[in-house]
Structure 1
């Protein structure tokens, strides 16, 4: 079967990326990585309010009302801004304040669909809403790969990480049809061994034995002031756990559930693979020390 134009274009870009890698070994320049990080930050002013329409939510402590996927939130204005953005928590929408699209919203709005919104072209609405969560997964993977490249201790795998960074970036710029055809679980399965290796190399710089809580159920655990430096907390359930004052430097937090986790006064300075979404979901304060690429949530 002949490849589609989208597939041929994607293959060409992947080949071009491979050629670039071979001529420029090692990690991409810091300016390039910062550009990737900039693109991974949500820019609601340049989005068509996609998270306010595409995603469903149920009436709960996080949302004042229920809304099905594909239906605009009643608070969404005609300019795609939130009508209660400054009062989300007071109005019963704390779930909105902890969500982070990793910049997928503006990418879908202005790259995938060329700046034509779902009101202007209602025939594209369904496809646009379906692409959003896939794009978010891609951007999340790019975040992790970028973080891994920043680890000097992982330089032995920087060239492999760079290839993935370029390949994933190329995928985000494909057509809606190409993006929807992606197997995200398979992509994660291919990238994860490299991220795990980067974690091992990064945590190996911490002397002594390190705690292994990978995938552990630590819901409500009391670990205040704990020495968790270099620990593996990959995929750990830390919902409502007390990590206040804990030392989490160089701890691997990829996929850890930090909803309601108390990290007031904790040190996450060099914690591995932390995302803004995780911080948004946790409880911190002015004494919480954060990774350099992330910001302190306004609701702390």
Structure 2
């Protein structure tokens, strides 16, 4: 379930669209090669994506769909050499990518001891999903991916509930919650349900997120310095890469620390200055300062 760019024809750099924003330096329509894609299907600025305005690329993962479509679905045919297959290839890639993401989460469920009662059902759905990834381009185009995602999502929810059942105390339900910029430093979110929650730029420094369900949570620019994510459920590398952490951030087993995270501890913020006694001499003047950042 890991991307292998050496056996892919740069499909994520061609098939998918992106819009000029904080994540991408330029617009690109679907089916058009990115200007940074080389003839050998490798990225020309891979080692400096963040500094070049392509942070969005650094937080993307095809979960192995790129090489599956390139080498299995299309038998190693490069879209450059076989333009007739290009349109079908670009349409198949996003579908297989969704299926591979589901495979990744279903595989995780098989490792959850509390959800062992679900393993026969999970194995059945896992095998069915794998068969879907081997469909022909025409069959992939006709596949109802949304319906299958809903079915798998319900199964993952049951597995998550079993995995979080032994967490003591109150387990907060923040499914789909708007927590952008929320001040949750040091919060007790152990076993919390944070599926699809918007945690963009939220302050989760030192928070307890052990066994929290983070399926689909948006962690862009989330501050996870010193947070404990041990045993967090359905957390992926792209989510972590989109966030900020440090050497004190505890991660689930098997998830590597993002390369842009510092290997040192993040120093605590400087204490706020003590207010003066008495009325300040310039109390009638408006003060200039930096805008508040969550």
TM-score range for the pair, normalised by the shorter chain length: 0.7 to 0.9
Could you tell me the TM-score, scaled by structure 2's length?
Answer: 0.86
| Alignment deviations for residues 167-191 of structure 1 (CA, whole Å, 9 cap, x no partner) | 1111111211111211111001212
Match of 1:81 in 2: 42
Aligned residue for 1:130, secondary structure, equals helix
Q: Distance in 2 between matches of 1:198 and 1:128?
A: 34
Q: Which residue is 1:187 aligned to?
A: 148
Distance in 2, Cα, partners of 1:45 & 1:162:
30
1:57 counterpart = 2:10: no
Distance 2:249 2:141 in 1: 39
Looking at CA atoms only, which structure, 1 or 2, has the larger radius of gyration?
Answer: 2
Number of positions where the alignment pairs a residue of Structure 1 with one of Structure 2: 261
Structure 1: stretches of 5+ with no match in the other structure: 1-39
Alignment of structure 1 residues 112-261 onto 2, 5 Å: 112-261=73-222
- Cα separation, 2, equivalents of 1:77 and 1:244: 40
> What is the CA-CA distance between 1:299 and the residue it aligns to?
2.0
TM-score, structure 1 as length reference? 0.85
Counterpart Cα distance in 1 of 2:137 and 2:241: 29
Specify the alignment match of 1:272 in structure 2.
233
Pairing partner for 2:32 from 61, 66, 71: 71
Deviation at 1:101, TM superposition (A): 1.0
Match of 1:20 in 2: none
Q: Secondary structure at the match of 2:185?
A: coil
Identify which of structures 1 and 2 has the higher relative contact order when contacts are C-alpha pairs closer than 8 Å and 6+ apart: 1
What displacement does 1:268 show? 1.1
How far apart, in 2, do the equivalents of 1:123 and 1:162 lie?
A: 37
Post-superposition CA distance 1:186-223 (Å, at most 9, x none): 00121222111111100001112211111211111011
Q: Which has the higher helix share?
A: 1
Q: Does 1:291 align with 2:252?
A: yes
Which runs of 5 or more residues in structure 2 are unaligned?
Answer: 262-294
